[in-house]
Amino acid sequence: MSEDRLAELERRIARLESRVDTVAPPRRPPESPSLTAAATGMLRQAKKEDKLGTVGYAGAARLAGGESLWDRQLSLAELLSADWAPVAEILESLGSVPRLALLATLVRQGRCTTTDLQESLGGNGEQTTSGQLYHHLRALQSARLITQRRRGEYELAPQAMIQVLTILAAAFDLANDPPLGPPADLPNPE
């Protein structure tokens, strides 16, 4: 290799090295939009259309059944005018510590046998009878939250996964978040 060619290669390498030193560090990918930004947009839209507003929920999960992304919205007018009887049945079926434990097991593990579910209820020191287990399973099935794949085998209903996780997250926040403001003065029912 000639000295001229070697000198040219050294100059080119030096130029490349100087470029690397001046290049900014790689940018981090933009963060996903916050739910607050989405809610602000929904409020702006409600004001623009002179409507009550919208309630929405979104999430992402990687569970036994695979990966899920979701976002749902419901107008407040539609929600407040709806028949709440079916809602009460679902909330009633969730209002039990053993049933919540069963749902948690099905969310974490996916499809489970009655033996698996019976064991998941025995963790708190109390023994749950098979009669109690089936009573809870029937209530969850009646609310369409779980399905029986075959005899003695249950799973969370695929159409209920997202909503159950959202309800549980909202209830968890209600139970654990500090109140947002001073207690409201309620009128005396006289």
The pLDDT, as a whole number, for residue 155 is 93
Q: What local confidence, expressed as pLDDT, does residue 125 receive? A: 47
Number of Cβ within a 10 Å radius of residue 157: 17
**pLDDT at position 117:** 93
Torsion region of 152: left, alpha or beta (phi above 0 gives left; psi -120 to 50 gives alpha): left
- Angstrom distances, CA of residue 155 to CA of 20, 31, 61, 73, 158: 55, 34, 17, 26, 8
Task: Report the predicted TM-score, pTM, of the whole model to 2 decimal places.
Answer: 0.68
Lowest mean pLDDT among 50-59, 91-100, 123-132: 123-132
> Nearest-CA neighbor of 76 among 107, 36, 49?
49
What is the pLDDT at residue 183? 61
Q: DSSP 3-state assignment of 171?
A: helix
- In this predicted model, what pLDDT tens digit does every residue of 13-70 receive, in sequence order? 877 776 655 545 555 545 556 778 888 888 888 888 888 888 888 888 887 777 888 8
The three-point CA angle 138-143-146 to 5° equals 65
pLDDT attached to residue 32: 58
CA distances for 30 relative to 27, 93, 101, angstroms: 9, 41, 37
122, pLDDT greater than 90: no
pLDDT for 83? 92
- The DSSP symbol for 164 reads H
Q: How confident is the model at residue 99 (pLDDT cuts 50, 70, 90)?
A: very high
Judge whether 146 and 140 are in contact, CB under 8 Å: yes
Name the phi and psi angles at 29, rounded to 5: -60, 150
Q: What is the mean pLDDT of the chain?
A: 82
Greater model confidence, 27 or 179: 179
Residue 190 confidence (pLDDT): 52
